[in-house]
Each structure stands twice: as structure tokens, then as C-alpha cells.
């Protein structure tokens, strides 16, 4: 799936210039002055999904996505002067992409890896917000090498906490629990010891 970024003036943004990304090129859904701004971009799942897809698109097209990621995170209250969440986000995604055998030399995700990121990161954020650090580390270690997991685990936790502090809480649904159990292997860990269902 290809992502097309539309600028405020409803024209295609040229993305082949490395330093081209700036605040004026923000998609109109991020424009605070836009009265038709969809509220759906304020949900943590969609913000995370947009950020992942934009990062992947930037890597494929060869431009730096951090400027637009920083603007997105600032617009929803995740990033401020003291936090560099967009840099942490870039570090996490780069580490995951480079840890895949096909991407050792370049951090350019293909469509399969983009889908993996879209599936994995919400699970990791939900675990990080719920202080389930042990499960977060175990889940990371099933997907990437242990050394890479140790490197990015604290950054994922900081990002998850920043999302939670901004009011963007990822709820741990039964679908997430099922997916975590499948990824971990149902025989290895009993998830009921980490989560209590609310009735």
C-alpha cells in the first residue's frame, strides 16, 4: 500500500529531496486551523499507524520523516521541548527494520515489514503503558535479536508513557491478548498471570 501525502494546498508533495519536509508540508489532517480536522486522528491507534506509515514512506522515498513526526507528536501533546519522542520513534523503527536479515545495510522496509510494524508496535505500546515490561521484552525477543531488544525496550517504554501522559491510552483488548499469545507461543507464558480481566 502506498501512502500519498497531500499538502495544505491539496497538491502532491515532492518527497525526493532529503531536506524538503517542513511544517508547511503537513497533511491537512494535521493542520490545527483546519475546521474539518477529523477527530479520528486523535486516537492512539491511528496516530501510531499514521506515524509508522509515514516513517516507512520516508525511508522508501529517501526523505527525513522526523520533521513531520515531530509536528504530529507536538500537535497531539506527545512531544515537547524536553522530550524527543520523534527521535526515539525513529530509533525504534530503524532498529527493528535493520534487525531483519534483508535490511542489514539499509533501513528500507518492504510491505511485509511495514505490516509487521503496524501489528507489533501497538502491542508493545499497550504492554509498555500497562507496566508489563517482562512481556514486552519477551515479545520483542521473539521478533528481533536480544541485543536489539535490550537497546530499544527502554525507548518503547518512554514512548508508551509519553502517549499515556498525553491521554492516548492503548487499551489491552482480547484481540491484543490473543495476538500476544500467538506471537509468544501459547505454551511458553501464561498470560493470565499478567492480566486480570475486568468484568
* Annotated domain spans of the chain: 23-193
**Mean pLDDT, residues 11-39 taken together:** 40
- pTM comes to 0.71
Model confidence at 81: pLDDT above 80: no
Mean pLDDT score of the chain, rounded to an integer?
A: 73
* Contact between 149 and 193 (Cβ < 8 Å): no
CA distance linking residue 27 with residue 23, whole number of Å: 9
Please give the average per-residue pLDDT across 18-46, as a whole number. 48
Whether residue 84 has pLDDT greater than 90: no
Per-residue pLDDT band at 152 (split at 50, 70, 90): very high
Averaged pLDDT, 109-120: 81
pLDDT of residue 34: 36
Q: Which carries the bigger pLDDT value, residue 197 or residue 158?
A: 158
Chain centroid to CA 59: 14
pLDDT the model gives residue 156: 94
Judged against a pLDDT cut of 80, whether residue 157 lies above it is answered with yes
Share of the chain above pLDDT 70, in %: 66
Query: Which set of grid coordinates corresponds to residue 141?
Result: 525477543
Distances (CA, A) of 115 to 61, 72, 76, 92, 150: 18, 21, 24, 15, 23
Going by pLDDT thresholds of 50, 70 and 90, the confidence category of residue 153 is very high
Lowest mean pLDDT among 32-46, 117-131, 149-163: 32-46
* pLDDT of res. 83: 65
Determine the pLDDT at residue 31: 40
pLDDT confidence band for 176 (50 / 70 / 90):
confident
Amino acid at each position: 500500500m502506498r501512502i500519498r501525502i497531500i499538502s495544505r494546498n491539496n497538491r502532491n508533495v515532492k518527497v525526493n529531496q532529503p531536506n524538503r519536509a517542513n511544517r508547511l508540508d503537513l497533511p491537512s489532517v494535521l493542520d490545527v486551523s483546519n475546521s474539518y480536522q477529523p477527530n479520528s486522528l486523535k486516537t492512539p491507534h491511528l496516530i501510531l499507524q499514521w506515524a509508522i506509515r509515514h516513517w516507512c514512506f520516508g525511508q522508501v522515498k529517501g526523505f527525513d520523516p522526523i520533521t513531520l513526526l515531530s509536528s504530529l507528536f507536538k500537535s497531539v501533546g506527545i512531544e515537547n521541548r524536553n522530550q524527543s519522542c520523534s527521535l526515539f520513534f525513529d530509533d525504534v523503527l530503524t532498529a527493528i527494520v535493520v534487525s531483519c536479515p534483508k535490511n542489514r545495510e539499509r533501513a528500507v522496509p518492504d510491505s511485509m515489514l511495514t505490516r509487521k510494524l503496524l501489528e507489533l508496535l501497538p502491542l508493545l505500546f499497550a504492554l509498555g503503558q500497562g507496566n508489563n515490561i517482562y512481556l514486552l521484552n519477551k515479545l520483542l525477543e521473539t521478533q528481533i535479536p536480544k541485543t536489539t531488544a535490550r537497546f530499544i525496550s527502554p525507548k518503547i517504554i518512554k514512548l508508551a508513557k509519553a502517549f499515556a501522559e498525553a491521554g492516548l491510552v492503548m487499551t489491552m483488548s482480547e484481540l491484543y491478548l490473543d495476538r500476544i499469545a500467538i506471537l509468544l507461543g501459547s505454551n511458553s507464558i501464561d498470560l493470565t498471570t499478567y492480566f486480570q480481566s475486568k468484568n
